[in-house]
Amino acid sequence: MTTILRGNIIHAPAFGALETIPRGFLVLEDGVLKGLYPVLPEKYRSCPAMDYGEALIMPSFADLHLHAPQYPMLGMGMDLPLLEWLDTYTFRTEARFADVDYARRVYRQLAWDLISSGTTRAAIFSSRHTDATLILMEELERAGVAGYVGKVNMDRNGGAAEEGTEESLSETLRWLENCRFDLVKPILTPRFTPSCTDELMAALGKLARERDLPVQSHLSENSGEVAWVGQLHPDCSRYWESYAKFGLWKDRTLMAHCVHSDAREQDAMAEAGVWAVHCAASNVNLCSGTAPVRELLDRGVRVALGSDISGGDQLAMNRVIVMSIRASKIKQIETGAPFLSVPEAYYLGSTAGHVYFGGGAGFQPGHKLHAIVADDSQMPAPARELTLAERFERTVYLMEKRHILAVYSEGVERLHSAGQPVL
Ligand code: GUN
Ligand code: FE
């Protein structure tokens, strides 16, 4: 079936690029984008159309790092650095997800909050609990959020959230057997090197190879953590080697943070095709630092953005994008590295993540539509008429849920202006 969307089309098809089509047309065939047109071709004139008027139609967001079982502690516990924060608040909060009813409640809310904030693809850490992880995947699928979810593996230094090595492996297999979802796929998730014994890491590396599974974890987030990894793996000269020696460092591995990754570690990422997931708000909240995003990009590392809920306090990816711009300005003050422009940061928070999952670069024909429709008419009245690029910038900075008229994920409308999920 052919459908037409009309509005002010804005997208970032390449890093740093911004294309605008005023009052343009998106033509969809069964949810797949066929073309973008400033004027609707004759042959489509009789097709059903959705006219969004002066609203902006932009690619939706992709959040490549967040912890679903930390959603209940969002906006709290910001008084400790990473390792103390994990021990004091985080592991305890995650331990609650042994309770499947609790998990259902929290994850239903999270899935709805994601889609209604315009996040349509995500790479998510669950807790160590298999049943709660399957519930999370179910709720995401129901809401229309696509991507990866990982049952967390952690068999040491995890307090109440920890599991035994054997249990960690057998539960991972049970989880994989029960992953039968269309939009949401499994990703192996060793929490980070200090949480996993060598035996567990080796078994996960083997599983990743045998079943060709993707991997996500944390890398060089905090200086205390980096020093700890050095003590646990004295044979590794850099943190990344503690993943590489177990076969977990490979094409499309997602590594969150990379705040303290030096040139050698960055080169190892570029060479292997490992992605850096930049989580600017979390890095400030947990006193980790500011990641060298420009340097990573210049060295050829693929970069995407993550909210890192709940080290990060903002689920809405436009706020994460803005935070990454702010962090890059601090970095410029410190090192002279040019800060991220709005189109660059938007690319990292939308297109980069979509491309990671095999989606299109911006509104690229041949891919299922992932888009939001934003109404900026209630934002402060401007002193003069704004260009579409200016309206785009202001929308990235100011957009709240109430401005989002519609969200399309995998070519299907999942949210419309009545503010209800389309289930
Ligand atoms: N490193 C290991 N676990 C975590 C976590 O839950 N959050 C963050 N930010 N870093 C981690
Ligand atoms: Fe994290």
Task: Check whether 207 has a pLDDT greater than 80.
Answer: yes
**pLDDT of amino acid 161:** 80
pLDDT at 416: 74
pLDDT tens-digit readout, 313-322:
999 999 999 9
Of the candidates 300, 295, 301, the residue with the CA atom closest to the CA atom of residue 331: 295
CA-CA distance, 238 to 236, in Å (whole number)?
Answer: 5
- Tell me the pLDDT band of 422, cut-offs 50, 70 and 90: low
**C-alpha–C-alpha distance, residues 338 and 329, integer Å:** 8
Q: Which tokens belong to 80?
A: 């400790």
Can you give the pLDDT at residue 229?
Answer: 98
Mean pLDDT of 221-244: 98
Does the C-beta of 282 come closer than 6 Å to ligand 1? Answer: yes
pLDDT confidence of residue 418: 58
Pick one of 2.30.40.10, 3.40.50.300, 3.60.10.10, 3.60.150.10 as the CATH number of 2-60+360-415.
2.30.40.10
pLDDT at 43: 96
The answer to whether residue 294 scores a pLDDT higher than 80 is yes
Task: Indicate the CATH number for domain 61-349.
Answer: 3.20.20.140
Q: Whose CA is nearest to atom 11 of ligand 1?
A: 218
pLDDT tens-digit readout, 392-404 = 999 999 999 999 9
Q: Which of 66, 67, 307 to mutate to test the pocket of ligand 1 (most atoms within 8 A of CB)?
A: 67
Q: Residue 234: CB partners within 8 Å, gap ≥ 6? A: none
Helix (H, G, I), strand (E, B) or coil at 358: coil
Which residues belong to CATH 2.30.40.10 in the chain?
A: 2-60+360-415
pLDDT value, residue 329: 98
Residue 420: which pLDDT band, with cuts at 50, 70 and 90? low
* pLDDT attached to residue 419: 58
| β strands within 126-278, DSSP E | 146-150, 152-153, 184-186, 189-190, 216-219, 254-257, 275-278
Q: Please report, rounded to a whole number, the percentage of residues in the chain having pLDDT higher than 70.
A: 98
> Which residues make Cβ contacts (< 8 Å) with residue 122, sequence separation at least 6?
62, 63, 64, 66, 114, 140, 145, 146, 147, 148
Where does CATH 3.20.20.140 sit in the chain?
A: 61-349
Q: Which atom of ligand 1 lies at the shortest distance from residue 195's CA?
A: 2
Secondary structure (DSSP) of 269-315:
HHHHTPEEEE-HHHHHHTT-----HHHHHHTT-EEEE---BTTB---
Q: Is the CB of 318 under 6 A from ligand 1?
A: no
Predicted confidence (pLDDT) per residue in 171-194, tens digit:
999 999 999 999 999 999 999 999
366 Rama class: left (phi>0) / alpha (psi -120 to 50) / beta: left
Of 189, 221, 228, 258, best ligand 1 pocket probe by most atoms within 8 Å of the beta carbon:
221
pLDDT beyond 90 at 327: yes
Instruction: Please give the distance, rounded to the nearest whole angstrom, from the Cα atom of residue 94 to the centre of ligand 2.
Output: 13
pLDDT above 70: residue 58: yes
pTM of this structure: 0.97
Q: Which of 70, 83, 90 to mutate to test the pocket of ligand 1 (most atoms within 8 A of CB)?
A: 90
- Rounded CA-CA distance 94/263 in Å is 34
